[in-house]
């Protein structure tokens, strides 16, 4: 049996709420914890103890009480707590507002490149290895980011949804090559362009605490056949470690 008014100690932070609030949604961890089927330890003052950082627990309670959502700057953090407590309705609401709504769109775009995360890891590993070998504060590497499936030249102007040129299989093989870079991203078919993908790369590296600068240093310019040259842009990434 639980009291109607429940005192809580969440990671050293104190809260008080009604039992009905904790049981608001049946399929949540909190509803299960306070269903009477599980043992919950108490602290020296008799508060029910939850061994979790309580920084955002107030936001969890406010949603359970009245459906209130956190301010934008706390959305990501509250989302993680809602995942831990398995509060589906809160997760659904948070996913429909910024910045999580935009993140869903971004991930849909990145889903077009199945090796995106592997390429990020390769950038990090190469940069770390070069910095350690040279005992340097930073490392540079070349990254190719291209949207079109086929290399293009000034003689060709492909449009969206017409990225594949009409060439025979034997002709197509003449255009197949790998640019001389450390990592290559592409191709993809979407409205998002090269600069959008560069933004994703820099953002995801920055989220991992990695300082990165980049600049375009030209194009591949490898001769393929006749007057055709690879015009995929090449970027220099500078990873600074300290």
What average pLDDT does range 11-15 have in this prediction?
A: 97
Is the pLDDT at 93 greater than 80? The verdict is: yes
Q: Are residues 215 and 144 in the same domain?
A: yes
Whole-Å CA distances, 187 to 29, 31, 149, 150, 176: 43, 47, 5, 8, 13
Rounded to an integer, what distance in angstroms lies between the CA atom of residue 219 and that of residue 221?
5
pLDDT tens for residues 21-43?
999 999 999 999 999 999 999 99
Domain count along the chain: 2
What average pLDDT does range 92-119 have in this prediction?
A: 93
Q: Residue 136 corresponds to which tokens in the numbers above?
A: 């340097």
**Does residue 232 lie in a domain region?**
yes
Answer with the one of 72, 97, 122 that is the final residue of a domain.
97
What is this structure's pTM?
0.74
**Does residue 171 lie in a domain region?**
no
Alpha-carbon torsion, ordered 95, 100, 106, 107, to 10 deg: -60
**Does residue 169 lie in a domain region?**
no
pLDDT at 213: 96
Write the CATH number for 91. 3.30.710.10
Q: Are residues 183 and 234 in the same domain?
A: yes
Average pLDDT score over the chain: 89
Q: Are residues 182 and 127 in the same domain?
A: yes
Helix (H) or strand (E) holding 185: strand 183-185
**Does residue 102 lie in a domain region?**
no
Is the pLDDT at 160 greater than 50? The verdict is: no
Q: Are residues 47 and 116 in the same domain?
A: no
Token pair 């842009």 is found at: 233
pLDDT tens for residues 127-151?
999 999 999 999 999 999 998 765 5
pLDDT at 167: 52
Q: Could you tell me the pLDDT band of residue 225, with boundaries at 50, 70 and 90?
A: confident
Is the pLDDT at 235 greater than 70? The verdict is: yes
Q: Are residues 132 and 87 in the same domain?
A: no
Q: Are residues 214 and 142 in the same domain?
A: yes
Q: Are residues 10 and 70 in the same domain?
A: yes
Q: Are residues 133 and 222 in the same domain?
A: yes
Say what percent of the chain tops pLDDT 70: 88
Q: Are residues 88 and 193 in the same domain?
A: no
**Does residue 16 lie in a domain region?**
yes
Q: Could you tell me the pLDDT band of residue 173, with boundaries at 50, 70 and 90?
A: low
pLDDT at 129: 96
Domain housing 226:
111-154+178-240
DSSP alpha helices (H): ranges in the chain? Answer: 19-22, 29-33, 57-66, 75-84, 88-95, 100-110, 116-134, 169-174, 194-207
Q: Are residues 208 and 135 in the same domain?
A: yes
**Does residue 172 lie in a domain region?**
no
Q: Are residues 130 and 222 in the same domain?
A: yes
**Does residue 103 lie in a domain region?**
no
Q: Are residues 22 and 140 in the same domain?
A: no
**Does residue 161 lie in a domain region?**
no
């Amino acid at each position: 049996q639980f009291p109607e008014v429940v005192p809580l100690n969440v990671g050293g932070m104190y809260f008080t709420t009604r039992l009905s609030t904790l049981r608001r949604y049946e399929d949540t961890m909190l509803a299960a914890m306070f269903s009477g089927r599980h043992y919950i330890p108490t602290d020296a003052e008799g508060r029910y103890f939850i061994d979790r950082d309580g920084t955002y627990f107030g936001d969890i309670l406010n949603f359970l009480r009245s459906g209130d959502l956190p301010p934008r700057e706390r959305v990501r953090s509250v989302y993680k707590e809602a995942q831990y407590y398995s509060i589906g309705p809160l997760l659904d609401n948070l996913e429909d507002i910024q910045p999580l709504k935009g993140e869903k769109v971004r991930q849909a775009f990145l889903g077009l490149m199945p090796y995106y995360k592997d390429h990020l890891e390769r950038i990090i590993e190469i940069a770390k290895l070069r910095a350690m070998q040279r005992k340097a504060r930073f490392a540079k590497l070349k990254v190719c980011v291209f949207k079109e499936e086929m290399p293009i030249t000034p003689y060709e102007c492909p449009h969206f949804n017409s990225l594949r040129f009409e060439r025979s299989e034997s002709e197509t093989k003449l255009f197949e090559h790998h640019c001389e870079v450390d990592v290559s991203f592409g191709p993809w078919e979407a409205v998002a362009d090269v600069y959008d993908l560069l933004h994703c790369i820099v953002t995801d590296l920055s989220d991992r605490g990695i300082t990165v600068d980049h600049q375009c240093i030209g194009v591949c310019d490898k001769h393929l056949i006749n007057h055709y040259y690879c015009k995929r842009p090449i970027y220099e990434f500078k990873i600074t470690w300290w």
